[in-house]
Amino acid sequence: MIFSLLFLCLNLSTLFRFSSAGGAALQNYNQSDYDDSIYGRSGRRLYAANDFKISEEDYNAMLEKLAQGYMSNSDLERAMQEFNSRCPNISRVYSIGKSVLGVPLLAIEISDSPGNMDAKPSFKFVGNVHGNEPVGRELLLMLANWLCDNYLKDSLVTTIVDGVHLHILPSMNPDGYAQRRRNNANHIDLNRDFPDQFFPVNDDMDLRQPETKAMLNWMEDIHFTASATLHGGALVANYPWDGTEDKRRDYFGCPDDKTFRFLASLYSRSHYNMSLSKEFPDGITNGAFWYPIYGGMQDWNYIHSGCFELTLEISDNKWPDASELPTIWDHNRMSMLNLVGSVIKFAESYSVSCAIQTGIHGRVLSSDGIPLPALIDIWGINYTITAGKKFGEYYRLLAPGEKYEVIASMPGYRSKRACVILGEGAVTVDFVLDPETSSTHSESRVLEDYAGCYYDSKPSLQVIDFLPVTQLEISVLLFVMLGLLCFLMQRRARRNQKQMHVSLPRRAAVV
Ligand SMILES: *[C@@H]1O[C@H](CO)[C@@H](O)[C@H](O)[C@H]1NC(C)=O
Ligand SMILES: *[C@@H]1O[C@H](CO)[C@@H](O)[C@H](O)[C@H]1NC(C)=O
Ligand SMILES: *[C@@H]1O[C@H](CO)[C@@H](O)[C@H](O)[C@H]1NC(C)=O
Ligand SMILES: *[C@@H]1O[C@H](CO)[C@@H](O)[C@H](O)[C@H]1NC(C)=O
Ligand SMILES: [Zn+2]
- Condensed to tens digits (0 to 9), the pLDDT of residues 29-82 reads 222 333 443 443 334 344 444 455 678 888 999 999 999 999 999 999 999 999
The pLDDT value recorded for residue 200 is 79
* pTM of this structure: 0.79
**CA angle at 164 for the pair 161 and 165, rounded to the nearest 5°:** 95
Tell me whether the CATH fold assigned to 65-351 matches the one assigned to 359-463: no
Mutation to probe ligand 1, out of 26, 28, 31, 32 (largest number of atoms < 8 A from CB)? 32
CA of 312 to the centre of ligand 3 (A): 15
**Residue of 356, 175, 345 whose CA lies nearest to 265:** 356
- Return the ligand 1 atom nearest residue 30 CA: 1
The dihedral sign for the CA sequence 333, 336, 338, 344: negative
Averaged pLDDT, 84-112? 97
Query: Is the pLDDT score of 495 beyond 70?
Result: no
Distance in angstroms (rounded) separating the CA atoms of residues 441 and 464: 19
pLDDT of residue 204: 80
**What's the gap in Å between 143 CA and the centre of ligand 2?**
21
Mutate to test the pocket of ligand 3, among 270, 273, 278 (most ligand atoms within 8 A of CB): 273
Pairwise CA distance, residues 254 & 384, whole Å: 13
Give Cα separations from 160 to 143, 235, 237, 351, 504 (angstroms): 12, 25, 21, 13, 18
Atom of ligand 1 nearest to the CA of 32: 2
In the predicted model, what is the mean pLDDT of the chain?
80
Adjacency order of strands within the sheet including 308-315: 91-98, 104-110, 165-169, 122-127, 224-231, 308-315, 234-239, 284-286
Stretch (H or E) spanning 125:
strand 122-127
- Classify domain 65-351 by CATH architecture: 3-Layer(aba) Sandwich (3.40)
Pick from 29-38, 76-85, 127-136, 446-455: least confident: 29-38
> CA-CA distances (angstroms) from residue 280 to 12, 64, 312?
42, 32, 13
Of 452 and 89, more confident: 89
Mean pLDDT of 266-291: 95
pLDDT value of position 481: 56
Q: What pLDDT is recorded for position 30? A: 27
Q: Which of 12-26, 442-456, 493-507 has the highest mean pLDDT?
A: 442-456
Query: What is the β-pairing status of strands 165-169 and 122-127?
Result: parallel
Q: Are 284 and 264 in contact (CB under 8 A)?
A: yes
For residue 31, how many other CB atoms are within 10 A of its CB?
A: 9
- Residue 172 is classified by DSSP as S
Q: pLDDT by residue (tens digit) across 297-351?
A: 999 999 999 999 999 999 999 999 999 999 999 999 999 999 999 998 765 444 4
pLDDT band at 439 (very low <50, low <70, confident <90, very high): low
Nearest 10 degrees: Cα torsion 312, 160, 63, 74 = -70
Measured in whole angstroms, the distance separating CA 177 from the mean position of its chain's CA atoms is 28
User: What is the topology classification, in CATH, of domain 359-463?
Assistant: Immunoglobulin-like (2.60.40)
* Phi and psi, residue 433, nearest 5°: -100, 135
Q: What are the sequence ranges of the domains in the chain?
A: 65-351, 359-463
Q: What is the C-alpha separation between 73 and 178, in angstroms, rounded? A: 7
Banded model confidence at residue 463, pLDDT cuts 50, 70, 90: very low
E strands within 345-492? 360-366, 375-378, 381-386, 393-396, 402-409, 416-422, 427-428, 431-433
The catalytic site residues sit at 313
CB contact set of 210 (below 8 Å; sequence gap of 6+):
97, 98, 99, 100
**pLDDT for residue 474:** 47
In a mutational test of the pocket of ligand 1, which residue from 30, 31, 34 has the highest number of ligand atoms less than 8 Å from its CB? 30
By the CB criterion, residues less than 5 angstroms from ion ligand 5 are: 130, 133, 231
* Inter-residue contact 397 to 465 (CB < 8 Å): no
Which of these, 482, 471, 422, 438, lies nearest to 19 by C-alpha position? 422
| Cα distances (angstroms) measured from residue 363 to each of 241, 372, 433 | 29, 8, 11
Ligand 3 within 6 A of CB of 277? yes
Q: Name the residue with higher pLDDT: 469 or 340.
A: 340
Is 9's pLDDT higher than 60? no
Whether residue 337 contacts residue 285, with contact meaning beta carbons closer than 8 Å, is answered with no
Which region among 33-42, 108-117, 135-144, 428-437 has the lowest average model confidence (pLDDT)? 33-42
- CA nearest ligand 1 atom 5, residue: 33
What is d(CA 218, CA 240) in angstroms, rounded to the nearest whole number?
21
- Lining ligand 1 with CB less than 6 A are 28, 30, 32-33
**Distance of alpha carbon 59 from alpha carbon 313, whole angstroms:** 25
